[in-house]
Structure formats: structure tokens, C-alpha cells
Structure 1
Amino acid sequence: MKLLATVPFSVAALFLVGCSGTTEQPPDTVGPVPVATVVDTLLPVVADTLPVDNTATIAPETLFGGEPCSALVAGDFSITFAGVAIGKLTGFTTLAEDACGYDVRAGGTDYVVIVQAETADDFDHPVTTAQAIDKFSDIGEEAIGVARGDDSYEVLVRVSNGYFSVTSPDKGSARALAAAAADRALRV
């Protein structure tokens, strides 16, 4: 009987010893122990670490087929630049996703021609210091030209699938190159 009387006391003593632990965090050097978060979905969260898909199909009516450096070809530069001489394409560089720079040599002078996609707002409100904005009815659906200081001229063109500009050293070359690019703007 004495054994049965001591069992409840032994159980109570073990329970008290087990529950008398300290409430302080154990010492560490990193910081507090992280608290478990509640997940409100049964699906696992997967981090998107895949590389960008460069094989994505470009919409058929994208300006220049999505490649601004396809706007002009070497033969397009066989025009007079700055009243000096016939130009020759020496190279080109993608300047941005929507811009291409063409290096041209004419009469021993190097020039840069830039073709760039534009917005409707750029076309409707061109920023210029020129007194007048030239209008061209024979380029694209509509085109305007503006002087950009003393050393360049920009033609902004509206075509059925967007807007673009061609900046060249002079009005004549900018206009001729814009007309050539307008013919290539819609690549199907």
C-alpha cells in the first residue's frame, strides 16, 4: 500500500521538475529564434528562377519585327550626307531594345544615324528648338521633321503599326532614310 501512496507523489514531482524550466531564450550569436509562419495555401511556393525565354514569338505587327537594326540596310546609305558625299555603312550597334545606331562614312567624315521606336506622344508633341516643324506626306502614313541643333535633323514617322524616328546629320539624308525605314516598318 505504501507503494501506491508514493506513486502519485512521484508523478507529481516529475511533472513539477519537467515544467520548471526557464522562460528565457538560450544564448546565441545570430539573433532571436525564428518564429514559424502560417502558410495560407496548400500549394508550395516556388521561386521563379528560370532564365528569360529569348525564343518567345514576337507579335507579327511589331515595328521592324522587334529588331530596330533591321530598319535600314547598307544600300539605303548610298545617299548624300550633309551635302558632302555619298555615304557608306561601316557598322551598326543596338543602342537599346528600341534603338539602333548606324555608323556611316561620307567624304572622310564619320556620321551616326539613329533609328528609334517612338510613342504617339513623341510624334504629337516633338520637343524642338526649331521655329517650324516640317510635314512630309510621302513618308509612312504621316511624317514630321525637326531640327535638332545645328548638326542633326530628326524625322518622326507614323506607320500602321507604330511610330519611329530617324536622326541624321541633315534634312535630306534623314528624310531619305526615314522613307526607306518606313517601307520596312511592317514585317509580317
Structure 2
Amino acid sequence: MEEPSYEEVGFVDPDGEGGGRYAHEAGLAMRLSARVLRVTGEAGDGSGTLVHAYFVGTAGGDCALIYASPASRAHAEALAAAAPGHVRWLLSTQAPSEDALRELWPDASAAAPTPGEQIRIGDATLRALPGDGDAQSRRFLLVEEGTLFTGASDAPAPGEEQVRWIAPRQGFLHSRR
């Protein structure tokens, strides 16, 4: 119970069938739910820090890519290989879309939705929420699962009772504390 991955493994492998992973590694693509695929990679800043990007949508259909940090070339390649469908939206939690991802998906919308705006992706609904005080930061709530995708802070704001799970840019998926 004291391990940081405990909640995530329980979420992705509730029956204990061995489908969960307790460690992150660059290039690892892991299905968190029927609507969410996480791809781990190194940040593009040369620090060697592992960061996550998330595809939200139905496999084989349209999807959105939510990311926080500029991707390294290897992470961008892993994202391209793991894309579960047509990437129609590039949604950054910290800054406007970066060139490496725009090169991979030139027809994807990189417009920053305003807080409260919703994006329908098949049977998934993403709601844009304000960020953590930075004018450019954003957070996104997957309404159907109550999953909050966040770039900086991993705590929901007051009034966000619908948040059940938090998907940070680093670390493990965990429940609302």
C-alpha cells in the first residue's frame, strides 16, 4: 500500500491478472482505460525526466493527445507509433503545441480551448478547466471517468468534486486525495 504505483496498478488491473506495471520507462504505452492510453517518454529538455502524454478517445476513432512537456524525438516517435486513431486535437497543459508534434499531426487542431469548453471525441467528453494560475496552463477533465489530466499540480481545485482520478505529467495515476 505504501508504494506510489499501488493505486494505479489496482485501477488498471483490478482482478490481479498481471496487466499492470509498477514502473515507468521511456517508450512504454499503457492502456489506462478503454478511453485512455498513456505513453511515457523523456522530456525534450535534456533532463532525462520521464513524462507522460495521454491519448483520449476510442481505439480506431478520433482522439486527442494531451501533453505537458515538449517531447524528445524518441518520445514523439513513441507517440506516433502508439496513436490509437486519428489525432484531431493536440492539447497542451502548459504551452501551445510544439513543432515536433505538429509535424506528426499537421491537420490536428492545436487551439487552446477556453475553460468550460467541451470537446466530444466519440463516447468521450473532455472539458477544459483553468490551469494552476499560469495564463497558458490548462487542465482537462475526462467527464465520463472523472479523470483529470494536469501538467503542474496534481490536486483538483475547490468545486471540482467530479474528479475521481488524477493523471499527472509525472508519476502514477492516483485517486483524488
TM range (shorter): under 0.3
- The structure number with the bigger radius of gyration is 1
Q: TM-score normalized by structure 2?
A: 0.27
Question: Given the two structures, how large is their TM-score scaled by the length of structure 1?
Answer: 0.26
Which structure is higher in helix share? 1
Structure with the bigger RCO (C-alpha within 8 Å, sep 6+) is 1
